[in-house]
Structure 1
Amino acid sequence: MSTITYYVALPFIRTEEGTLVPGEGVEAQNEHQAKSRARTMSLSVAAAIAFSRKGDADLGDFEPAEILARYGDTPDEVD
């Protein structure tokens, strides 16, 4: 098993109905870059988070995501 850590910045967009929905995540090379991208995303959308996730993509076996940073009005369900 080859475990790798993925870092992602994920935007949240507010719909016309007022709910927040996730946009397209952007992979980053490290924690700092994920936080920076999420912070930048949050300037043009309702919210964004940076998270990491460890796992083996070949097996599809992943640990739960770890939230690294939140920016803006993030949904409660993100915990």
Structure 2
Amino acid sequence: MSRQRIFIAGHRGMVGSAIRRQLEQRGDVELVLRTRDELNLLDSRAVHDFFASERIDQVYLAAAKVGALLPTTRIRRISSTRT
């Protein structure tokens, strides 16, 4: 029986790396990993070609834009200023 091929989008982030570690510990799957530079998920042709050529069995979508701390910090500073 062949091992399931699993693609984790966002495998270098907090959630994606946790998923990757869990799947690596299982040892019965083949992880297919691509960085943002290697596969732009906003490019529909590239995504189509990737899935057509790689024959992926499962997908974990953990890719996200992170960076909410700075805007939250600014909001707190603004809301605590006196006018």
TM-score (norm 2): 0.31
Structure having the higher helix fraction is 2
TM-score (norm 1): 0.31
Structure having the higher strand fraction is 1
